[in-house]
Structures are given as structure tokens and as C-alpha cells.
Structure 1
Amino acid sequence: MFKIRALAVLAAVSTAAGCSSGYLVKLDSTPQGATVVCSGTDQGYTPTAVHYEKSAEKHSYIDASNCIAKWQSGAKATYPAHLKVSPEGPITSTIARPDVPGYQKDADFAAKVERMKHDKNFAQKDATGKNHSSTMLCSYVGGQQTCL
């Protein structure tokens, strides 16, 4: 049930990101898999895209301090108030998980999110009717390699 719900959230976020207009800011975290909440609205798991008004391009900075990353362990961090706007296009802000207990729980969840994204991408490719070769997905979290 959790996996289906999480895949639905990922699909909704990716669909919304593809249809929205405005200035794109990619919010990420270390480790990935934190839930991003901006002004009380769930934006999905990191990495995720948040769209600001198109007029943000005309400013030097975007205030992302209304967005927080929440890891499964309960650790939280707030994105910066001054993200420098790039005339070349989207910007990325990556915040590190605070050094508090529960890191392994968050690293394990990051690996689960990565597997869900891989499964979703594989399912989308299957829907196109293309042949697939055997692949192995590996990620490094906390200096440890996890392969599927």
C-alpha cells in the first residue's frame, strides 16, 4: 500500500512539474528522500521541482525559506531565504540533513525512494513497448553502496 501511494505521489509531482510555468527551483537534500513542504503544501520527495512566479526571474534572489525538508526520522531543515536567481535557467538548492540521531533510517528511506523512481521509470518504458536490457541500480548513501 505504501509503495502504491508513494508512486502516486511521485507521478503527481512529476506531472505537476511538467505542466507548471514559472521560474523553476529544484529542491534537493542529502540524503535524498526528504519530504519537501512549502507553505504547508507537500511538494514530494527530494529531489523535487518547485515553481515560483515567472516574475522571480527579474529578481536577484528567491526566498525559499517557506520550504522545509522533513526526513523520515523527524529531522528537519529549512531552505535558504536567498537563492541566487540564474539568468541561464533553473537553480538547485541542496540542504544537508542536520547531524541528529536517525541517519540510517533516512538513508534506508532514500534507497526506497530511489527504487520506487526506478520502478516507475521502468514501468513507463514498458508501456512504450520498448525492449529492456537487464540493468542494476546502485546508489551511494552515507558512504555505503546499495544495489538492486
Structure 2
Amino acid sequence: MRPRGDVVCVRHGRTHPAAQTSTFHPDQEYLADLASWITAGLLAAVALAGGITKMFIPKEKPAAQHGGEWTAHAGVGFVKALGVLESLAAVGLILSAALGTAPVMVPVTALCWILLMVGAMVAHGRLGQYKLVMVNVVCLGLAAFLTGGHLAA
């Protein structure tokens, strides 16, 4: 178990050596790790919000709103399965790195998120929702940054 207050590296799953000194001056590795944590947190928040919405809100509600029209043409099981996958993505992006149990799950989850965003871009593009396609592109870019940061580390 790590002592409280240590900075845990999301890319490696261990405490950051620079955080163990009394005079802390962030170096490039620390800043890259901070960017990875912020990116993982943003993606996890998006994934959890989308997952909870898809799992617990009846599909007729989002189908009647802008951005959720695709659910009108999808089965209830498919929508709920996407919700479960998105919720698991939130767990995979944060919990595995925070506990240091399986830090390899972060880039694997981010890679799966990229595939999910490609599907979302296709679905929104077919409906002419190009602003939502751009939101998906941003999420895809964040996931690519997270995956690339882990592969480079």
C-alpha cells in the first residue's frame, strides 16, 4: 500500500519519484503524467455520464432529443449494452491506474474508446449531426493522446 499523498503515475502505476522529495519541482515526466490523469478523468466522466444515461433512462427519452435520435433505430438491449461498456470504460480508465493493479488497462480501454467513437461518428454522421461528430472527434483525440502516452512510456 502506498503512503497517503504520493503522486501515482497513471502511465506506469507506481509513485512518481519527484513527488517523494521535500522540494517538488515538476519535470517533463510529471507534467505528462498530470496531463494523462486529466485526460483519463475527462474521458471517464464522459463515459460514466453516457453509460448511466444509456443504462437507466428509457431509450424513448433520448430518442426524442437532439443527439439521441439514433436510439430510435436501435434495440433496447443494444443501447443498454453500450451503457454497460461505457461504464466499464470509466472504471478501466481510472480505477486500474489509481490502484496500480493493472495500468495496462488504461491504454487498452482508451483504444476501445477510440473504436467506440468511430462508431459514434458514423451514427451521428448518417443523421447529419456534424456538431456531434466533432464532439466525438475530440473524445477520439483525447483517447488517442492517452493511448499514445502509454505506448511511448
Relative to the length of structure 1, the TM-score reads 0.30
Which structure dedicates a bigger proportion of its chain to helix?
A: 2
Relative to the length of structure 2, the TM-score reads 0.29
Which structure dedicates a bigger proportion of its chain to strand?
A: 1
Higher relative contact order (CA 8 A, sep 6+): 2
